[in-house]
Amino acid sequence: MRAVIQRVSEASCKVNGLETGKIETGFVVLLGIEDADTKEDVIWLAQKITGMRVFADENGLMNKALADVNGDILLISQFTLFAQTKKGNRPSFIRAAKPEKAIPLYELLIKTLENLLGKPVFTGIFGADMKVSLVNDGPVTIVMDTKNRDNH
């Protein structure tokens, strides 16, 4: 799994002009799922996202996690995070998981994040043409790949 996590002061997602999710302080998480991903990847990623301390404390240092600031998550599925661009000018998405594999893992991530946060996670619609708007706060953007875990 690949995730691009952006700290935001506000964000929303619309599909066909209808709002599917809207948050203020929190994270927009763009999520790509590949065929090799498992339940263990979901659990690891959810724990990393919810535990990440990138919100300012009283001294302006990045010391607070999502729960400390009562932040929310807007989770957006994005298979293009697995674009391969080595050959030619048209990206290949062959590593991106097909919906029958990706949707259950996406739904498991939503449930796992909700359990860890103790509140709902806002989403787009899997596979839809989504319009995502956000104000990246900082900017703070973190990229994670469950296949490149640093165990130290």
Catalytic residues: 80
CB 79 within 8 A of CB 32: yes
**Amino acid (1-letter code) at residue 60:** G
* Exposed / middle / buried, residue 105 (Cβ in 10 Å: 0-12, 13-18, 19+): buried
Question: How does DSSP assign 66-93, residue by residue?
Answer: TGGGT-EEEEEE-GGGG-B-SSSSS-B-
Please state, in angstroms and rounded to a whole number, the distance separating the CA atoms of residues 84 and 67: 35
